Amino acid sequence: ISVSDLVNESYDRINQVEGKVKAFLTLDEENARATAKALDEQLVKSDTRGLLFGLPIGYKDNIVTEGVTTTCASQFLRNFNPVYDATVVERLKEAQVVSIGKMNMDEFAMGGSNENSSFYDCYNPWNLDHVPGGSSGGSAAAVAAGEVYFSLGSDTGGSIRQPASYCGIVGLKPTHGLVSRFGLVAFASSLDQIGPMTKNVEDSAYLLQAIAGHDPKDSTSAEVDVPDYLSALTGDIRGLRIAVPKEYFGEGIDPQVREAVLSALKVMERLGAVVEEVSLPHSEYAVAAYYVVSSSEASSNLARFDGVRYGVRAENPDNLLDLYRKSRSEGFGSEVKRRIMLGTYALSSGYYDAYYLKAQQVRTLIKQDFENVFEKYDVIVGPTVPTTAFKVGSQLDDPLTMYLNDILTVPVNLAGVPAISIPCGFADGLPIGLQIIGKAFDESTVLRAAHAFE
């Protein structure tokens, strides 16, 4: 089959289901068809092909794409047309993927249900009454619904893994610094990481292979050698030491989720892994620390949206200050404003020690919890999220409940380590995700364990 066939198939499927799923913010059909045609012509001339030749991809809309609107699902950026590609997009162009469009998300990646998109909600393909998760909800839903072959998301506190879990796909958050953040619109720079959202673990390894590796344009990008992730997929996990944190099975974990994860662990044990219970004692402080750290960084990162440099400028301001104020009041949605206010408060001189500094200290303790466990174990395994996807609208007026969904994903970002979510069962027709957490830069072991279980 030709690349044009693949791209046709993608848009056919989009025509069938997109009216209900709403995973896309922008469809890039003309470019996609032209790229497909060029790739097909190239194939006639020579059979050298890129790593991901011709595969249809979707990019989360906070990843900048040259000449294609990049909105972050915000009214502020509804007309923002970047003049360059993010490094990941550049690398995937080299790998010869075809971009199908830009994916729906929570505004500026703040949220866990896609209900903070300022354009429209996205829905879970398994049950349209439920959320797809977030903030990379569109990226997850489109893969689950078969609209794209795979996609990229970003994960600051779970935004790849949680929607992957809710939509029954594979989502990988790489080690902080493994994948370039150049061209990812920053939410919380010390936590943000781009990663693959795919139907299976093998594709995740392929996609990671294409995007990982040092980038001089990102000063926090690590100078490490990128291993061959594909060769890690041996199917062999004999002797793998798996730690199961008791804190990840406590109060608030849905019994069906607990059961599914425990039986997944049984399977891994049968495959030869050694499974033991451990403790990550500071887990209960992770959500609080995360929301202080991430909101503080967000308040600083989002200061650049002043109505002058990017996006939409408010009309008829009285003076310069009023221009800033009006543009920001009109451009940002309420969750984004909540985070900015939280962040500026936590960073303000009178409160800095009590909140920001304290949160950073807790972050160090959480990181040490992981380091202690990784002295003896290869991976940490637990649920990705305490429950399956909730009903659209059911948590909207309760931000704190919404934040608590992140309890099992945010520690990973605070520690900077990699983690994957893979499907491990269903409860009432909705997918359950298994989370496998690894040592820094040891994506190979994470992928190997995930692949063996899958």
User: Is 159 among the residues known to form the active site?
Assistant: yes
Interaction of residue 132 with ligand GLN, rule CB under 6 A: no
283, 105, 113, 302: which is closest to 194 by C-alpha?
Answer: 105
Strand, helix or coil for residue 110: coil
For residues 289 to 328, the per-residue mask of contacts with ligand GLN, x marking binding by CB under 6 A and - elsewhere, is: -----x----------------------------------
Q: CB-based burial of residue 397 (10 Å sphere; 0-12 exposed, 13-18 middle, 19+ buried)?
A: exposed
* CB atoms inside a 10 Å sphere around CB 436: 27
* Min CB(39)–ligand GLN separation in Å: 32
Interaction of residue 153 with ligand GLN, rule CB under 6 A: no
Q: Which of 58, 82, 101, 112 binds ligand GLN (CB under 6 A)?
A: 112
Contact 283, 247 (CB under 8 A): yes
210, 214, 196, 246: which is closest to 90 by C-alpha?
Answer: 210
Q: How far apart are CA 297 and CA 319, in angstroms?
A: 28
Q: Which lies closer to ligand GLN via its Cβ, residue 26 or residue 113?
A: 113
* Min CB(126)–ligand GLN separation in Å: 20
Q: Which lies closer to ligand GLN via its Cβ, residue 7 or residue 437?
A: 437
Q: Which lies closer to ligand GLN via its Cβ, residue 96 or residue 154?
A: 154
For residues 156 to 175, the per-residue mask of contacts with ligand GLN, x marking binding by CB under 6 A and - elsewhere, is: xxxx----------------
Q: Which of 70, 135, 388, 395 binds ligand GLN (CB under 6 A)?
A: 135
For residues 371 to 410, the per-residue mask of contacts with ligand GLN, x marking binding by CB under 6 A and - elsewhere, is: -----------------------------------x----
Catalytic residue among 22, 60, 102, 173: 60
Catalytic residue among 159, 283, 294, 299: 159
The one-character DSSP state at 357 is I
Q: Which of residues 90-109 bind ligand GLN (CB under 6 A)?
A: 109
Q: Which lies closer to ligand GLN via its Cβ, residue 112 or residue 331?
A: 112
Q: CB-based burial of residue 309 (10 Å sphere; 0-12 exposed, 13-18 middle, 19+ buried)?
A: exposed
Q: Which uninterrupted H or E stretch holds 27? A: strand 24-27
Q: How far apart are CA 338 and CA 277, in angstroms?
A: 38
Catalytic residue among 10, 74, 118, 135: 135
Interface region with ligand GLN, contact rule CB under 6 A, candidates 155-163, 195-203, 314-322, 325-333 = 155-163
Interaction of residue 117 with ligand GLN, rule CB under 6 A: no
Closest residue to ligand GLN, based on beta-carbon distance: 159
Q: Which of residues 180-199 bind ligand GLN (CB under 6 A)?
A: 187
Strand, helix or coil for residue 433: strand
User: Is 326 among the residues known to form the active site?
Assistant: no
Q: Which lies closer to ligand GLN via its Cβ, residue 182 or residue 453?
A: 182
* CB atoms inside a 10 Å sphere around CB 316: 7
449, 454, 448, 435: which is closest to 173 by C-alpha?
Answer: 435
User: Is 60 among the residues known to form the active site?
Assistant: yes
Q: In what order do the strands lie in the sheet with 241-245?
A: 24-27, 98-103, 56-60, 150-154, 194-198, 170-173, 419-427, 430-438, 379-383, 241-245, 274-278
Query: Which tokens in the block code for residue 122?
Result: 């996205």
Residues lying near ligand GLN in the complex (CB under 6 A) are found at 109-112, 135, 155-159, 187, 294, 406
Active site residues: 60, 135, 159
